[in-house]
Amino acid sequence: MKRLVVPSAVLVLYVLAAVFAPLIAPYDPDKVTLAQRLLPPGAHHWLGTDALGRDVLSRVIYGTQVSLLVAIGAVVVGGVVGVALGVIAGWRGGWLGAVIMRLVDIVLSVPFFLLAILVVAVLGPSLVNVVVCLALVRWPRYARVAHSATLQARGRGFVRAATATGAPGWWIVLRHVLPEVLPVSIVVATLELGLMVIYEASLSFLGLGVQPPTASWGSILSDGQQYIASAWWLATFPGIALFVLVLAVNLLGDAARDRLDPAKRADVARPRLLRRMARQTA
Amino acid sequence: MTALAVSARRRRTRSLPATPRYVAGRLAQAVLALFGVTTIVFFALRLSGDPARLLVPEGATAADIQRVRDQLGLSDSLWHQYVSFLGNAVHGDLGYSYVQNRPATALIAERLPYTANLAVAALILSVVFGVTIGVITALKRGKWQERVLMPIVLIGQAMPAFWTGLLLVLVFSVALRWLPSTGYDGPASLVLPAITLASLSAAAIARVTRGAVLEQLSQDYVRTAKAKGASTTRLVLRHLARNSTIPVLTVAALELANLLGGAVVTEVIFAWPGIGQLTIQSVSARDFPVVQAIVLFASAVYIVVNLLTDLLYGVIDRRVTAGGRGGAA
Amino acid sequence: MNRRRFRAALLLAAALALGAASCGIEPASAGRGSDTITIDTANYPSTLDPGKQYDTDTYSVYRNIFDQLLRRDPKTNAIKGWLATSWHQTDPLTWRFTMRKGVTFSDGSPLTAEDASYSISRILDKKFGSQQYANFSVIDKATADGGDLVVHTSVPSPTLLSYLTTLSVVPKAYVERVGNKQFAVKPIGSGPYVLQSATAGSEVVLTANPKWWGPAPQIRTAVFRAVPNVASRVADLQSRKVDLATTLTPDAADQIRRDPTLQILSTPTERVAYLAYNTIKGGPTNDPRVRKAIAEAIDYNAIIQNLERGYAKPINSMATPLAFGYDKSLPGDRHDPADAKRLLQQANAVGATLVMATSPSFDPQVVQAIQGDLAAVGLRVEIQNSDQATYLKKVQDPSHDWGSIRFGRWSCSCQDSDGVIYPLFHTGEIWSSYSNPDFDKIVEQARETIDPAKRISLYRQAFELLGKDRPGIGLFQAYAVYGANSRLIWTPDASESLFLDQMKVS
């Protein structure tokens, strides 16, 4: 129980910062003041100013909105799509399952940068499309986990029994399979959450992230990369915000895994578990 | 003889008859997947921009652009282009780079040694550190060692590659002058980019190792060995190492596949002339033949590695072949 | 069983590591002597065939291997003889060039007018597919006549000489013997340097050509490295890995100036940073009053001083002072936010939203500074950033559906107003979202007028018209900014070339 308190508090704090950003932030995060560019942290600007004279503290606070939105959005969209397809592939099997799982291979094998640039080129640049792009790249991770969890559930006694009584497939899936699939998917999702913020930063580095002047941790980090030697505060503070989030989410993920993972139950084959863990993290 | 090894041997003998058909099926699927990915990329690329516009000088006219399009064969119908692409691809001809005017396959072949070197170096680093940290954090679960080591690994994972890479350059090249900042000047040049890449994948490997070791620790044979008074070191080396290899190898194999596909950001920061830089350059220039060749290559590597790891499971866990009619992920 | 598999896996891993390590990648740059110079550029040259691409990082390398027909004086920018020693017009369409005697290619074969005419003809050859075709398309045919090169143009062309400064002369016999593909890999030229080695995507090494006709250059060996990231190029300079790094940002230049062993070399170029309006389907920017308001809303000096750190000069029109036809008497635009607000009210455009199309290759800081300036007078700017290929497709589409304003940088490599305002604003050109028959008539006429005085007066009319109608505004003249080790003695020139024979090391 104690393991959950600190990371949960951090997450709540982040959500509060995102929601109440306009109340907390000392300045307008997008206000350009060229005469005050690249000021180091001080009394007026606690975390300094960026290359356009914008207050870094305000941008980090506002950036929480976008970064959490992108991360949660990508995890939810990618997770729902991935789990749904994974369960269908695992439950139905046959050619449909094969097609879905090969699609998983296809998406995983295309270089991330290529996919990102194609999505942005075809859909146009926007916050929503960053989410779409990340979800499109990451859904296969969930699909794989859900697929193997479904296969495993199919082999279990109560599912076979339910099938034998002639219950409709969708009912068995909802009633018996999903409860087996969701815990492990949620574990994957917590691990993915932090990663999505990094991915968003990489998109910004390549100029494909959220559109300026919108602040996100990723865009502040990537704007700051050419100033690492001359203005350390630019990339350091969003970096710390990101690190604390990743740490909290990972701790929560570990705790959730210990609590939710069906491995704790008796009738699970060990190799299966090892394999699934390997996939989740890869 | 351990529980896992016993069950593995039993399953292996049972699943043998199914194996050739399973492998053939998977190979056929792999070829289809390759075909699928090339087809999707072929058409998506052509929706996303026009290479001719990037090739002409600034004052060019619409007619100049059309000339270049004609010359590159981009004025033909999409269908026509696709058929001729497939026809050539079957014969191993993936076309000429629009920008460099050389065979796309030759460009990849030139870059591959660099990417392979970096990938292997990064993989070795991340396996060494990841496994060590994973084992320690598992053995010292809940103790201070875990509380110190896990955040260190997570820092690596929470820092984007461009940030880690530049920081390393500032410290080890600019301030200390110990290691080259960019490019390839002998093995010393490998160190910084390999660390940058390894910091990203070490965390994944540490996590899996930790999970696998924890899993083993709860098994009866470990308890028995402990009760018999086996030392921790002996326990780790003799029993845990063997039985935790499979999941770690899995992650390592997938990481290797990812790394061979090119680490774009790291290669850009370190001016490393590998597949990653070639990818970003050819995608930016819409150098279709090169992009297609890279995608084909990266997919092939990925699918082969994936197939091999799946077969490894097939050996261990017969239900992969028996239960998942369409084959497992 | 398991142990055996584990051992096998270990063996496999070791084999992989060894295999990859011995996979034959060798350090390209040898130990460097005092007459060796190492240069970081952003990109690896697209080709070493001077008939193909003509972009800065590509020609910076190959222009050292080849001699150009004409060159510009690095100080005055005036066109001077190089391989052609003198020239004259025999009629409005015909130019006759006398070739330098005694020039040989590095394989010992003599360079003749035949080689010069071949160098032009192959660019015009559709099958060859030169990216420079547009620069030379005015040429009808080029022939060798005795020792002279004779160039016929289809219409009178005042900019022909400008473009001929970009023409590198290739050896006809060698190219025909080895073929274009091989030539691009193993080029032979008559220039001050020869190709020693090239590592794809990474390095090109040139060494001095002992047979060169000019005075022997002090630098014997030059290593060109491709380092795409600016911060990495700065680190290379700071760690003494390289002597010269190109295309630095102004902030990176500030950083380098703080290091006493490094120096910044810079020069104004013909590159103009500009805003172009969509006057056809731009919404609010269809109204000239809004276009004027935007021009008055921008704080040019703040951008030049704070963002460009002084590595830029104010200009009064779309061209730079280096361009033929630049008129320094024009008033230009002034920062006047109060008048901008008044104009917007008049035009009923207060609070309007403008879409600004841009791509990551155009300085994002300037784009956002403009966004801030426009917000201050009550215009909301929505930035749409897309990668270069997507951006070009959108902006150059004949539908003109790309937004209201765009920011860009322009250089025609011709130092002539024709190469700037004609493609940007003439009706129907791919870059133009403006249409004005009066303007079209003037620039069409100027394009075919040889008499310099007459051309200047035509461009004065053209710029006056653009100043009134404002289909675009020139923001500043951009500088080329290089970082260098203080041992390098070199004066960069406006053409953004890296002529090694003009460099020295102390």
Q: Is A198 on the interface with B (CB under 8 A)?
A: yes
The answer to whether the beta carbons of residues C10 and C204 sit under 8 Å apart is no
Shortest distance between the Cα of C346 and any Cα of chain B, in A, equals 36
Question: pLDDT at position B8, please?
Answer: 38
Instruction: Judge: C383–A211 Cβ closer than 8 Å, yes or no.
Output: yes
Q: Is A94 on the interface with B (CB under 8 A)?
A: yes
Question: pLDDT at position A2, please?
Answer: 65
pLDDT in tens, A105-115: 888 878 777 78
The alpha carbons of chain B give a radius of gyration, in whole angstroms, of: 24
Q: Is C388 on the interface with B (CB under 8 A)?
A: yes
The H-assigned helical ranges of chain A are 2-19, 21-24, 56-92, 94-109, 112-123, 127-154, 157-164, 169-172, 178-205, 217-224, 233-260, 270-281
Q: Is C173 on the interface with B (CB under 8 A)?
A: no
Q: Is A111 on the interface with B (CB under 8 A)?
A: yes
Q: What is the dihedral of CA A208, A213, A217, A222, to 10 degrees?
A: 60
How far is residue A45's CA from residue A39's CA, in Å, rounded to a whole number? Answer: 8
How far is residue C221's CA from residue C227's CA, in Å, rounded to a whole number? Answer: 19
Question: pLDDT at position C475, please?
Answer: 96
Least confident span in A29-33, A176-180, B51-55: A176-180
Question: pLDDT at position B325, please?
Answer: 35
Q: Is A23 on the interface with C (CB under 8 A)?
A: no
**Top mean-pLDDT range of A149-163, A191-205, B149-163, C290-304:** C290-304
Q: What percent of chain B has pLDDT over 90?
A: 28
**Top mean-pLDDT range of B52-56, B185-189, C240-244:** C240-244
- What are the distances in angstroms from CA C90 to CA A38, A125, C94? 60, 55, 6
Shortest distance between the Cα of B174 and any Cα of chain A, in A, equals 10
Instruction: Judge: A228–B154 Cβ closer than 8 Å, yes or no.
Output: no
Q: Is C129 on the interface with B (CB under 8 A)?
A: yes
How far is residue A29's CA from residue A60's CA, in Å, rounded to a whole number? Answer: 9
Paired residues of C71 in beta bridges: C80
Is the pLDDT at C206 greater than 50? The verdict is yes
Question: pLDDT at position A179, please?
Answer: 84
Measured in degrees and rounded to the nearest 5, phi and psi for residue C384 equal -120, 105
Question: pLDDT at position A260, please?
Answer: 62
10 Å Cβ neighbour count for C335? 16
ipTM (interface pTM): 0.85
Instruction: Judge: A120–C307 Cβ closer than 8 Å, yes or no.
Output: no
Nearest residue, CB atoms, B184 vs list C129, C202, C396: C202
Identity of residue A124: G
- What pLDDT band is residue A15 in, cutting at 50, 70 and 90? very high
Q: Is B213 on the interface with C (CB under 8 A)?
A: no
Is the pLDDT at C13 greater than 60? The verdict is no
Is the pLDDT at B14 greater than 60? The verdict is no
Is the pLDDT at A267 greater than 60? The verdict is no
pLDDT in tens, B233-246: 777 666 676 667 77
Residue B23 or residue B300, greater confidence: B300
DSSP H or E stretch at residue B187: none
Instruction: Judge: C371–A212 Cβ closer than 8 Å, yes or no.
Output: yes
Pairing of strands C70-72, C79-81: antiparallel
How far is residue A103's CA from residue A97's CA, in Å, rounded to a whole number? Answer: 10
How far is residue A217's CA from residue B113's CA, in Å, rounded to a whole number? Answer: 35
Q: Which residue do the tokens 């390759």 mark?
A: B34
How far is residue C252's CA from residue C239's CA, in Å, rounded to a whole number? Answer: 15
DSSP state of A147: H
Instruction: Judge: B160–A222 Cβ closer than 8 Å, yes or no.
Output: yes
Instruction: Judge: B111–C200 Cβ closer than 8 Å, yes or no.
Output: yes
Q: CB pairs below 8 Å between A and B: how many?
A: 200
- Both tokens of C35, joined, read 């007459």
Q: Is A117 on the interface with B (CB under 8 A)?
A: yes
Question: pLDDT at position A282, please?
Answer: 43
Shortest distance between the Cα of A187 and any Cα of chain B, in A, equals 13
What mean pLDDT is reported for chain C?
A: 91
Question: pLDDT at position A269, please?
Answer: 40
pLDDT in tens, C367-378: 999 999 999 999
Nearest residue, CB atoms, A221 vs list B163, B316, B319: B163
Q: Is C429 on the interface with B (CB under 8 A)?
A: yes
How far is residue A194's CA from residue A241's CA, in Å, rounded to a whole number? Answer: 11
Is the pLDDT at A250 greater than 60? The verdict is yes
- Both tokens of C218, joined, read 């002090």
Shortest distance between the Cα of C356 and any Cα of chain A, in A, equals 11
Identity of residue B50: D
- What pLDDT band is residue B204 in, cutting at 50, 70 and 90? confident
Question: pLDDT at position B243, please?
Answer: 67
- What pLDDT band is residue C267 in, cutting at 50, 70 and 90? very high
Nearest residue, CB atoms, A226 vs list C230, C367, C373: C230
pLDDT in tens, C379-397: 999 998 888 888 998 999 9
- Please enumerate in sequence order all residues whose Cβ is within 8 A of that of C292, keeping only pairs 6 or more positions apart, or say none: C340, C343, C470
Shortest distance between the Cα of A164 and any Cα of chain B, in A, equals 17
Least confident span in A126-140, B276-290, B299-313, C193-207: B299-313
pLDDT in tens, C242-262: 999 999 999 999 999 999 999
- Judging contacts by C-beta atoms under 8 Å, the chain B residues touching residue C185 are 102
Q: Is A12 on the interface with B (CB under 8 A)?
A: no
Residues 146 to 185 of A: which have CB under 8 A from any B CB?
Answer: 147-148, 151, 154-155
Q: Is B197 on the interface with A (CB under 8 A)?
A: no
